[in-house]
Structure 1
């Protein structure tokens, strides 16, 4: 039994397909199939029902997936648990939402690299729900996401890092207008309602009984900012304070009275409590963020 085969098993369980799992773990499909056969021989049990078009876990397969998660969590945590208090080593796979990537995370990672040069860090971007799922599946160690509108997936714990404000944004040429009124009169570029932030915005608009003229619905904050900068409409998006201070091509106005905010959290698996690596990341992020009460 190899650790790589266990990671392959988790990828299949997560993606529901040998093909997508192969892409996720950077293997050929034949190599993925070989890993599964090897595990089935080791465990003397079938892990997937092969009578189905798509791979479906058997009862033995479900048990194997849960144990694989536990084994890999223990293995991945070894390097962060050993060694001296001041010298951290090991791998930290981080997922992050766009506002964190454009705001506090680069500063935090730069400081972390100086303090702990032997830590191997990888970063993946995505929307909060996607990143939470990847942490749950063991593909990421931690993720910086928004505090979900609904409870986060079962088995995940969160640590509050900081808050971000929601902002009405408009072309800079309309900076002297009442942006609240522009929400009703201008084309509205909507933040994707599949995202946690998009659902928060939608709920608040309904609470305010505000009708908007939706012209686009996009899942990229950068794309929304570009569309607004080009004069194609107005929008409501969450922004890191660093973005508010640096963007010069759009006008800003707080959304809501008082301003609507969201909490940004560090997500991790409950069965792998906040280790020294993840704790160091959380502390670095908080050092460059406005204080928020727990």
Structure 2
């Protein structure tokens, strides 16, 4: 018996099919079937009623699933149990959206390493939707994402870390142009609606009745910023203050009132690595505060020097 086979059994029960369970845990459908067959041979019972189109747990299957969940919960709590009061230890598997990785995450991880040298944090990148699914199926302990937008995996909880404001960004030097005019006159570079922030932007455009001439759909904020800097169009993005202060762009508030997105730390409801995640959340907040203070000062100084005016209405 392997922990991976038990996680696969849990994924089948959660997702309702071998194929969807395989997608959730990163295995093929045939590999999932082999793992289930191995468990059945080991325990000498049939776990699923195979006479039906979709897999349904037998009574023995429900017993094994319940015990499997207990075993996995105990295993996932081992790193926390090894921690002492002064220093955290163990391993934390975390995913993060690109803006967090290029923003507060490096500083937060450096602070964590200094404070807790026995804690190992493994970090991967992804879009919010993908990362939420990986947290839900136990592949990740936690993820730094946009606040979930329905539909999202069930049994997730989140803690707010910081918030970004949404801006219409356009090439520099456009003076007093307003949001509606820029969207009507210039090509629109859309932030992929598969991302939760992309869905928020699409909804607000519809609500405000703003028409766009879409020419690109991209899933990287960094790439979108570069495209706009080269004069290839306009876009709407959630931007941290640190990025806004450095951007050589025309930036106008987007939304009425200006939209904000919360960036959160996603965990499963059982929170097996709660102490480690709390330490990570505190480090991210501290790193974001350290970045935001000088960025806000630079932004205010730049506005005074340039005498720019940011429209308060959507035009």
Normalised by the size of structure 2, how large is the TM-score?
0.78
1:94-127 CA distances to partner (integer Å, 9 max, x unpaired)?
0111211121111111111111111121112222
**Equivalences for residues 1-294 of structure 1 within 5 A:** 1-9=1-9, 16-17=18-19, 24=26, 35-47=35-47, 57-60=55-58, 64=64, 67-150=67-150, 152-172=152-172, 174-180=173-179, 181-248=181-248, 250-272=249-271, 275-290=274-289
- Does 83-92 or 265-274 show the bigger shift? 265-274
**CA offset at residue 242 of structure 1?**
2.6
5+ residue gaps, structure 1, are none
d(CA) in 1 for partners of 2:259, 2:46: 51
- Worse-matched range after superposition: 28-37 or 136-145: 28-37
Structure 1 residues 19 and 59 mapped into 2: Cα distance closer, same or farther (>3 Å)?
Answer: closer
SS of 1:288's equivalent in the other structure is: helix
For 2:258 and 2:113, how far apart are their aligned partners in 1?
A: 35
Once the 2 structures are TM-superposed, how far is the Cα of residue 231 of structure 1 from its aligned partner?
Answer: 1.8
Between the aligned partners of 2:30 and 2:149, the Cα distance in structure 1 is 40
Query: What secondary structure, in the 3-state scheme, does the structure 2 residue paired with 1:85 have?
Result: coil
Q: How many residues align?
A: 285
RMSD: 3.1
Query: Equivalents in 1 of 2:30, 2:212: separation in Å?
Result: 51
How far 1:64 moved relative to its partner? 4.7
Distance 1:132 1:22 in 2: 11
CA, structure 1 residues 19+148, in 2 after alignment: closer, same or farther (shift >3 Å)? closer
CA deviation profile, 1:164-214 (whole Å, cap 9, x unmatched): 111111123x44352512112101111122221111111211222211111
Once residues 229 and 283 of structure 1 are traced to their aligned partners in structure 2, the CA distance between those partners, rounded to angstroms, is 34
- Structure 1 135/19 Cα, relative in aligned 2: closer, same or farther at 3 Å? closer
Judge conservation of contact 2:160–2:265 (CA < 8 Å) in 1: yes
Pair 46,232 (structure 1): closer, same or farther in 2 beyond 3 Å: farther
Contact 2:24 2:133 in 1 (8 A): no
The answer on whether the counterparts of 2:18 and 2:29 sit within 8 Å (CA) in structure 1 is no
Q: Structure 1 residues 69 and 110, CA, compared in 2 at 3 Å: closer, same or farther?
A: farther
Q: Which has the larger radius of gyration?
A: 2
Q: 1:60-98: per-residue Cα shift (whole Å, max 9, x none)?
A: 457655653443232122211333111211110101112
